[in-house]
Structures are given as structure tokens and as C-alpha cells.
Chain A
Amino acid sequence: MKLALLDALEAARKAKRQVCLVRLLDQGGTEALVVDGQQTEGAPLPEDVLEAARAALREDRSKTGDTSAGKAFLQVFNPPLRMIIVGAVHITQSLAPMAELAGYEVTVVDPRRAFATDQRFPNTRVTQEWPDEALEQLAPDRRTAVIALVHDPKLDDPALDVALKSDAFYIAALGSKKNAAARQERLQALGHDPATTARIRGPAGLPIGAVSPAEIAISVLAECTRVLRQGA
């Protein structure tokens, strides 16, 4: 691979574009880049290779395909997964670094100064804005998880309200079954129908008997992974 192509690839990824690196394996590994559906680097690709690259980007899956140019390896680099955690609480101190290890770009939202400190979150992006404002700015998409861990409707609900209007693939909130039912009702009172509020997973996480904050973080990240990879 040429260093110049690597530079172009990294620049496109930094700009959060959808990038497909094409290698024509039967032609000595000739390389090309397809960014947001259009070719930007390399010798012009046949239309069917370009189409295959677009399909791989849509499916978010790298693969080798048979094309008019022989075997083509299509390597997909989609923008990173994101996780927005509402509440700079004890569980978040475990969940944020675990999610970063799993490949998420994490943002912690908490307007309470005592919680949202650099000392408690030395390596994580923390914002002290109000959850609804922060969420609107962060604009969750289908590669974003939104997790409310404050346990206080004043902060959790406005975040969930915005999340429900988005394509976020995983929406979850901490709390008992009783609290979860009450939360559904409150969000329905804000105008969401029951099918929409049912997108909120609560109590958040897989039932693995988690007790400590770190264990609860494992259970939440495990459920989030299951939804990402298996869709439910």
C-alpha cells in the first residue's frame, strides 16, 4: 500500500466519511478509495466494482467479491460507533473505559459539576450541558448507543426524549422494573407512542446477576453488543 493512499484514507476517516478501500487481488493488489460512494483515489474502477464497494459500505461489512476486474477485496471503514452516557456516575466510570476498549467514541453528559469532573473521568470526553441540549447537538445516528444512568427523570427523560426521535441502535436506562414502567408512561405523555417508548431497554443490561458498578457496566455493554451484532 502506498503511503499517499494511506494518508488519503486516514484524512477521510478523520472527517467521518464512509470509506471503502478497494484492492484488486488478481491485479497485484491495485488500490483505490471510494469515499461516500464516489471514487477519490486510484485508477478508475469498473462500474460493477464501484457498485460492490457502495454495497459493502451499506452493509458495513468487509468482504472479497468476484467482479469484472477479478477478485476485489472491499475493506469498509465506517465512522466509529458512538456511546452517549447520561450521568457521570460510578457505573459510568467503568462503562466509559470499557466501551472505549470495545471501539466506541464515548461522551458522558452530566450537568452536575460534582459528578462531571476531569478527576473522575481523566480520559473521557465529558460535557456539563443539559442532556436534551447535549443530545440534540450530538445528534445520535444508527451507529450510536444512548444510555441513561442518572436514575433521576429530571436528567434521564429529556435525553431519552431526544434519543427516541433518533435512529440510535441501542437506547437503555437504569432502574427497577417498576421505574421502567413509570418511565414508559412519562415518555408517552411527552407524545411518544408505546411502540416507540418500547425501544428503551430498562432495566438496562443483560440479567447476569451484576452487583458492583463494574459488573453492571459489563452487563450493559454486553446487551449493547448483542443489539449491535444480532439486532435484538
Chain B
Amino acid sequence: MIADENLLELARDWKQAGKKVALATVVSTWGSSPRPAGSQLVVDETGAMMGSVSGGCIEGAVVREAREVMDGAAPKLLEFGVTNEQAWEVGLACGGKVQVWVEAVE
């Protein structure tokens, strides 16, 4: 396990090792969301990930977006919550809502 504080260092290490790397960060939360603002998930092009942006509910969808961003898509703000079931097939079982910023490390 890696402490939250060390995830950026890991992102840098992966990037410097020649991998494609994206970073997902919780930027806002409402209600009983599992991880506070500032929580991060580091993803590489193989889908390897470290850290978390939820209790495991939305990581799959975030990784999919992260791979698009590391392939050149613009950074984007994702929103997950129980009210958003039509937009996303994944939601938070806890009933909270989170916004996640996904960007590439370049």
C-alpha cells in the first residue's frame, strides 16, 4: 500500500520510466462520499492503478476515462452519484456524489 501523500511521487516515477500516466483526483464531494477531496488514483497505460477515489465503486470507469486522457484527450471533470445513473453505468452505493478531475501527466 502507498500513502496518499506518495502517489504523486509514484506518478512521476512511472512517467520517468517511460509509461503513459494519468492522474484522477477527487475535487468535490457531497453527502456521504467515501474519499475526501484531494484523494488520488494513479493509472498507467496497462490499467495498473494505485490509490483510490472511492471505495472501489467508480475506479473502473475512472480508469477507462484515464486511458483516453493519457492517449491525448483533454483533461475532464467526471461526476458520479446515484442521481446520475443514466449518464454512467456506475454509481456510488453510499448515496453520495463526487466530482473527479482526470488529467494526463505530460
- What is A's interface to B at a CB cutoff of 8 Å? 1-3, 6-7, 9-10, 13, 23, 25, 28-29, 61-64, 73, 75-77, 80, 101, 103
What count of chain B residues pass the 8 Å CB interface test? Answer: 26
Within 8 A of A (CB), among B12-34: 12, 15-16, 23, 25, 27-28
> Interface SS of chain A: helix, strand, loop or mixed?
mixed
New contact pairs (4) apart from A25-B77, A28-B75, CB-CB < 8 Å: A1-B23, A3-B15, A23-B101, A62-B37
Given contacts A64-B99, A73-B25, contact A3 B105 (CB under 8 A): yes
| B11 and A6 form a contact (CB under 8 A) | yes
Ranked nearest first, the 3 interchain pairs of A and B with the lowest CB-CB distance are A62-B38, A73-B27, A29-B75
CA distance A17 to B9 in the complex (A): 16
List the A side residues contacting B106 at CB < 8 Å: 1-3
Q: From residue A31, how far is it (CB to closest CB) to chain B in Å? A: 9
List the A side residues contacting B11 at CB < 8 Å: 1, 6
Interface assignment of B94: CB less than 8 Å from any CB of chain A: no
CA distance A63 to B8 in the complex (A): 18
Chain A residue with the shortest CB-CB distance to B105: A1
Can you report 18 A-B residue pairs in the complex whose CB atoms are below 8 A from each other?
A: A1-B23, A1-B106, A2-B106, A3-B15, A3-B16, A6-B8, A6-B15, A7-B12, A9-B8, A25-B101, A29-B75, A29-B101, A64-B28, A64-B37, A73-B25, A73-B27, A73-B28, A73-B37
Q: From residue A97, how far is it (CB to closest CB) to chain B in Å? A: 12
Looking at B1, B15, B77, the one whose CB has the most chain A CB atoms below 10 A away is B77
List the B side residues contacting A76 at CB < 8 Å: 38
